[in-house]
Amino acid sequence: MLRSARHSKIMEIIEEKEIETQEELGQELARQNYAVTQATVSRDIKELHLFKVKGTQKRFRYTSILENENGLSEKMRVLFQACVVSIRPVGNLIVIKTLNGNGTNAGAVIDKLNYWEVVGTIAGDDTLLLICESDENVQSVVNRLNAIVKG
């Protein structure tokens, strides 16, 4: 079984159904004749950059980060705009406050942006810390992030 075929099937599944856990995803793949281990499902989730958002039928559900040729998908832009409360530069750091439970979602967006100035991120429940290469790079990153938040 080709990985690309399995990845396509996973994307199809999470678009059609609310899948909350790796176990549910593995069971759904099995129903579609894809024999996978939990480790394979976990690796696929990471490779596809899936993350969880609030569900309508279940508490949470997997969704994807689909990018277009301009970088962020509209879904990711909206996610970032909805969850960011404030962006504050501090030396060579940027502290992003988010709504409760959205630090990792904001972190996924930042990681996907792949800004060369950002050497690392640390996400908490409602805070995201960006570590920039130098103090001089911080304002440029803050300006770009504010532009995303303002739309």
Q: What is the pLDDT of residues 55-96, one digit of tens each?
A: 788 888 888 765 443 457 777 888 899 999 999 999 999 999
pTM for this predicted structure = 0.56
CATH code, domain with 44 = 1.10.10.10
User: Which residue(s) pair with 86 in the sheet?
Assistant: 97
- Same domain membership, residue 145 and residue 96: yes
Residue 85's domain spans which residues? Answer: 74-150
- Same domain membership, residue 86 and residue 50: no
Cα distances (Å, whole numbers) of residue 76 to 28, 31, 82, 89, 95? 26, 30, 10, 22, 19
- Same domain membership, residue 124 and residue 97: yes
Residue 7 has pLDDT above 60, yes or no: yes
Helix (H, G, I), strand (E, B) or coil at 137: helix
In a domain, 69, yes or no: no
Calculate the CA 16 to chain-centre distance. 19
